[in-house]
Chains A and B, each alone.
Chain A
Amino acid sequence: EPEVTQTPSHQVTQMGQEVILRCVPISNHLYFYWYRQILGQKVEFLVSFYNNEISEKSEIFDDQFSVERPDGSNFTLKIRSTKLEDSAMYFCASSESGTAKANYGYTFGSGTRLTVV
Chain B
Amino acid sequence: AQRVTQPEKLLSVFKGAPVELKCNYSYSGSPELFWYVQYSRQRLQLLLRHISRESIKGFTADLNKGETSFHLKKPFAQEEDSAMYYCALMGAQGGSEKLVFGKGTKLTVNP
CA of A102 to CA of B91, assembled, Å: 9
Q: Is the CB of B98 within 8 A of A103?
A: no
B52 interface residue (CB < 8 Å to A): yes
Q: Is the CB of B101 within 8 A of A43?
A: yes
1/0 contact string of A6-48 vs chain B (CB within 8 Å): 0000000000000000000000000101010000011111001
A106 interface residue (CB < 8 Å to B): yes
1/0 contact string of B90-101 vs chain A (CB within 8 Å): 101000111111
A101 interface residue (CB < 8 Å to B): yes
Q: Count A interface residues, CB 8 Å.
A: 25
B44 interface residue (CB < 8 Å to A): yes
A74 interface residue (CB < 8 Å to B): no
Known contacts A101-B90, A102-B90, A103-B49: A108-B43 contact under CB 8 Å: yes
Which one of A31, A33, A43 contacts B86 once the chains associate, using CB atoms below 8 Å?
Answer: A43
Query: For window 86-116 of chain A, which residues contact chain B by CB distance below 8 Å?
Result: 91, 101-111
B interface residues with partner A (beta carbon < 8 Å): 32, 34, 36, 42-46, 49, 51-52, 86, 88, 90, 92, 96-104
